[in-house]
Amino acid sequence: MTFYAELQRLLEANEPFVLCTVIAAQGSTPQKPGSKLVVKADGGLVGTVGGGAIEKQIVDAALALLADGRTTTRTLDTHLTHELGMCCGGRMTVFLEKHVAAPALVVFGAGHVAKELAALAVATGFRVTVVDERAEWASATRFSGCELVLRPCDDVAREHRGGADTYYCVTTHDHALDQRCVEALLDTPSAYLGVIGSRRKAERFRQRLRAGGFDEARIARLECPMGVDIGALTPAEIGVSIVARLVAVRRAEHEAAKRLVLLAQPVPR
């Protein structure tokens, strides 16, 4: 497989990697400007920026960049002899650019709020899957750029494996179906689990969960109402409030987003 074919495969597979490009070279160097290396999350390499000590330095820096939740780029400027003991005698400057896997958002229900929520989530970098057995609602026309799963929401919720970068928003057309989805998802790993509804609905949900044997630690994972309190009324406004919350969770390593997360928590009443 050629370099660019593998690069395309990584992008389509949504796999994280760092693209390392030689952007300047002076004197004798093993590679010239334009040479590229891809460093995968598992340490696998595609291409080269010269091999030896310089390539090891770049690979180590790329893996550190992948592990850094706040930084997306870095530039390395290295004198090959003075800093690495290589015999080349020149200097290389390499630009490192991180490509991270997009977080997955699974929206259960394909109603009016889900439509607005999904569109905004796609625009802000989420990979969105919409689940609803009603084909007339979960259509490609209404959910452009989303994966569609035409199956009962509670069945999919029970089977979904989740993960640290998975976000769940439950917005079905039926309160009982919402409840079944939530019960199925409470023990599934996720970055976020929310269900649409009022504070009264939220309290009823929590009462049913307690009656069903769920402990307070698991119940606390559920956010209801969803979203940042902006006084939203229309489906579009509600979609904005929910996506703002999802972005705050995703960017929570930044102090400003941390404050937003705290402000968005439901106020006990």
Domain range annotation of the chain: 3-99, 104-264
pLDDT tens for 45-94 read 999 888 788 888 889 999 998 888 778 899 988 776 655 666 666 788 89
Mapping DSSP to helix (H, G, I), strand (E, B) and coil, where does residue 246 land? Answer: helix
Which architecture, in CATH terms, is 104-264?
3-Layer(aba) Sandwich (3.40)
Half-sphere exposure of 23 (CA within 13 A, CB side): 12
> Mean of the per-residue pLDDT values for the chain?
86
196-248 tens-digit pLDDT: 988 888 888 888 888 888 888 888 889 988 989 889 899 999 999 999 999 99
Which pair of tokens denotes residue 247?
């972005």
The residues, ordered by sequence, that sit 6+ positions from 251 with a Cβ below 8 Å of its Cβ are 257
Q: How far is CA 141 from the centre of its chain?
A: 24
Q: What is the pLDDT of residue 86?
A: 62
Instruction: Work out the end-to-end distance of the chain between its first and last CA atoms, rounded to an integer number of angstroms.
Output: 60
> Which of 36, 32, 71, 30 has its CA nearest to residue 54?
30
